[in-house]
Structure 1
Amino acid sequence: MKEKLLNNLSLKILSAVCAIIIWIIIVNVYDPSTSVTVSGVEVQLVNTESLTEKEYAYDVVDGSKISVYISGPRSIVTDIKAKDIVATADLSNVTVFSDYVDIDVKVVKDGVSASSIEIAPKTTAIRLKIENRVTKTFNIDTELVGTPADGYVIGGQQISPSSVKVTGTSSVVDSISSVKVLYDVSGATMNISDAAPIKIYDSQGTEIVDDRIELSKTAVDIKVSVLMTKTVPVTYKTKA
């Protein structure tokens, strides 16, 4: 009995090896390995509060969108889109002296991380510009545009509050030249009481739009007095 088992052992090993080879051939024929590069993957910044709590602000200089290399079974790889790739950069250990943060990538489909694939970012780190976070107070100017209806004139205007605190990176806050409220009075025939958004401008008169800028107020209450005019004849007498 023992001899029969030993005699069949080599045959069994050979059969197992053949089975593995056949399985590999089948997999590679029907689901071969392939690779793709997916572009336009947005990098999500996590733990950003670790910087803001230390009164630092940041700009992403490079690496906000990256390309990712993926390899694995064709049935899995060809079905992966940019929206399925989760790319993150953890800012929890960043200091003002370190401006590069490693990027971590993974594929998540239907809430499950994909396996049996290799994935690597072609850009391995994002580059940050870290600055002090500052706050300045600016007076708010009012600019009325348009003209009221015929027979009416603007008597005056008032806004509340008259100033606003702006918080952001020192370079952006220092570039602010004016803070304004623009309000259109075209065709007005009665007094106006409304809310108007606050806008900030640089020295060239270009509006500064930056999601990381914080305003203590985003709008003001504006009141505009609209007065009716009347044309009356003027008569005069001359003395002989």
Structure 2
Amino acid sequence: MSSALLNLILSATAETLYMVFVSGVLSALAGIPLGVLLYVTRPGQILPNATLNSVLGIITNVGRSIPFIILMVALIPFIRILVGTSIGTNAAAVPLTIAAIPFVARLVEGSLNEVSPGLIEAAQSMGATPWQIITKVLLPEARGGIFTTLTITVVTLVSYSAMAGAVGGGGLGDLGIRYGYMRYDSTVMLITVAILVVMVQGFQSLGDYLVRKSDHK
């Protein structure tokens, strides 16, 4: 392997990790609160609000229903306004984040569904406020499920980041297409796939470890 190709591979790997890290952090910061809101605003929950719940549910479902490749193209004008360009890792991080937020929200909502209603009722009987119930009952009890959610999200973002390379997002996807597919270089393709597999396995193993450490049941 030439030094030039090695540098390209290292650079593309760093770009992919950057895109996954930025979009993963931002989607967690927005998706977890959104998932909590979807749960607590249901009828019969601690902050029932049917209108807000319905609006949030529609927005989340619409976001999840748009194929990622279409979302990337549709967001190009917005991306240009936000980061000044529609290509590169910073530009690719925008649709990655937007695509991941509703994904995280629904999975977090599902994790909260696993919390025993009895714990919530016990906290209410002791005079706990909704905020206290969220921070001291719901989130701690659903911690394992939330770590699982974030693991699934990061693994999904790895594959989405490779897709982003097809439209100038950079990273391993771009390397595989330009130097592997277009130049018929099977070695580059195999190396790209191998690195992506290692990334996924690494993130999955870390996520499984965090889930085990957080499981207090």
TM-score by length of 2: 0.24
TM-score by length of 1: 0.22
Q: Using CA pairs below 8 Å that are at least 6 residues apart, which structure has the higher relative contact order? A: 2
Larger Rg: 1
Higher strand share: 1
Higher helix share: 2
